[in-house]
């Protein structure tokens, strides 16, 4: 059995740079561990995590909020917290986000080296090559390469996501499920039905965090069960990697519980997210930015959106209700337009496609038995 290697405390400057990166939203708070921080650093990290647990937490947390949380909720001395956070930002002043990210990466490399050395000592072996590999990662971070150098090994592969077995035409048009998808339609057309179908598809290869702020888990479980004709055994097998939530408050904790696994995050719907009463549109845009950060961390996101009423019967990038950020942040966006006189049929119209040239109409989706879609041309 391998011995657990204790994390070595960071140097004072590195701790402050890393915490500043977390406070500014450059890196997720999961990149830091309390065991490697000073007593005051631990309290700052706890304060950040407390504030991040709120749905409308901004990308860059206000320093005053962090100070107030650390002193008023966690019991830290207000003057010490104020001076410490001020020194964090003073040390990071003039540094770009990349510099802060590099500081956290330096920390990660140090931990990897120490863990590798500790594991080797515990097993009675010594492999300097593996330790050297960990140290060499720092050079990779700092080295600046020209586009010509990057192309020395040929063109990068075309981005490709999860190929959808039940929706091959949609998969071909998009390149597969990846990045951030945005789906809009009028009420009752089948947005949620499609979201469940996509969740089941992704559940074959990884965990799905499904946040349904309108229906609740019982309704969702019923819909999943009906997809399989009421066969509970099949439904259980299809949903073993799907986790339903009624509130998105636990998003950060849920992601942390998944460890290093990359997840599909489904939000149904964007308009049901908690927002500021005074500035709802800006609050929703903040949420979209937060989901974009998840995408950049390697997760896949599906945002279900209502449509602007003036856009009923049409499909444009402006049709996503109450937010203008989706059209910029989404990698793949489409509308479901109901076919007149055909209650079970919808047309898929692509309005945003970052990775493939296809746009406009791609296929029809027919809702079978009310709980799953089949493609039609």
Q: Is 54 in the same domain as 119?
A: yes
Quick count: other Cβ atoms within 10 Å of Cβ 324?
13
For the ranges 215-229, 276-290, 337-351, the one whose mean pLDDT is highest: 337-351
- 283 and 202 within one domain: yes
d(CA 273, CA 246): 11
> Distance (Å, rounded) from C-alpha 347 to C-alpha 256?
38
Q: Is a pLDDT exceeding 60 seen at residue 205? A: yes
Residue 172 and residue 138 in one domain? no
The Cα 43–Cα 35 span in angstroms is 12
CATH code of 311's domain = 3.40.50.300
CA distance 136 to 130: 10
The three-class DSSP label of residue 304 is: strand
Are residues 110 and 195 both part of a single domain?
no
Give the pLDDT mean for 44-49.
91
Residues 99 and 179 in one domain: no
Q: Is 53 helix (H, G, I), strand (E, B) or coil?
A: coil
Length of the chain: 377
Q: Check residue 139 and give its pLDDT.
A: 46
User: Which range, of 36-40, 155-159, 276-280, averages the lowest pLDDT?
Assistant: 276-280
- Co-location of 133 and 231 in the same domain: no
Rounded CA gap, 148 and 18, in Å?
32
Radius of gyration of the chain (CA): 24
pLDDT per position as a tens digit, 335-345: 999 998 888 89
58-64: Cβ within 8 A, 24+ apart: 58/25, 58/286, 59/25, 59/286, 59/289, 59/290, 59/293, 60/23, 60/24, 60/25, 61/23, 61/24, 61/25, 63/23, 63/89
Is 3 contained in some domain? no
Q: Give me the domain span that covers residue 215.
A: 168-376
In terms of domains, do 135 and 174 share one? no
DSSP code of 377?
A: -
Sorted by sequence, the CB contacts under 8 Å of residue 362 that are 6+ apart come out as 169, 170, 173, 334, 348, 349, 350
Could you read off the pLDDT of 129-181 as tens digits, one per residue? Answer: 555 555 454 444 456 778 888 888 888 889 999 999 999 999 999 999 999 99
């Amino acid at each position: 059995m391998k011995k657990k290697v204790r994390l070595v405390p960071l140097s004072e400057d590195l701790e402050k740079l890393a915490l500043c990166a977390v406070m500014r939203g450059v890196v997720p708070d999961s990149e830091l561990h309390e065991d490697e921080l000073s007593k005051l650093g631990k309290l700052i990290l706890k304060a950040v995590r407390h504030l991040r647990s709120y749905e409308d937490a901004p990308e860059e947390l206000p320093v005053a909020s962090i100070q107030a949380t650390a002193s008023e909720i966690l019991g830290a001395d207000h003057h010490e917290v104020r001076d410490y956070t001020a020194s964090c930002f003073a040390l990071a002043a003039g540094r770009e986000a990349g510099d802060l990210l590099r500081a956290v990466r330096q920390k990660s490399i140090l931990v990897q080296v120490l863990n590798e050395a500790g594991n080797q000592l515990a097993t009675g072996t010594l492999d300097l090559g593996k330790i050297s590999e960990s140290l060499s990662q720092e050079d990779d971070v700092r080295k600046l390469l020209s586009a010509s150098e990057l192309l020395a090994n040929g063109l990068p592969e075309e981005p490709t996501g999860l190929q959808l077995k039940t929706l091959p035409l949609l998969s071909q048009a998009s390149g597969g499920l990846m990045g951030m998808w945005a789906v809009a339609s009028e009420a009752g057309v089948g947005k949620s039905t499609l979201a469940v179908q996509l969740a089941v598809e992704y559940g074959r290869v990884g965990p799905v965090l499904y946040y349904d702020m309108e229906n609740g888990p019982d309704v969702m479980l019923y819909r999943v069960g009906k997809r399989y004709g009421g066969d509970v055994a099949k439904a259980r097998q299809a949903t073993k990697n799907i986790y339903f939530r009624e509130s998105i408050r636990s998003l950060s904790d849920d992601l942390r519980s998944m460890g290093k696994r990359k997840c599909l995050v489904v939000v149904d719907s964007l308009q049901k997210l908690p927002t500021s009463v005074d500035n709802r549109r800006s609050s929703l845009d903040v949420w979209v930015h937060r989901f974009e950060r998840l995408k950049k961390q390697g997760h896949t996101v599906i945002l279900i959106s209502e449509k602007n009423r003036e856009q009923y019967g049409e499909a444009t990038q402006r049709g996503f209700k109450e937010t203008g950020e989706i059209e910029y942040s989404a990698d793949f966006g489409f509308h479901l337009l109901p076919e007149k006189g055909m209650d079970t049929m919808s047309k898929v119209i692509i309005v945003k496609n970052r990775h493939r040239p296809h746009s406009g109409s791609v296929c029809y989706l027919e809702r079978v038995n009310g709980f799953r879609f089949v493609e039609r041309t």
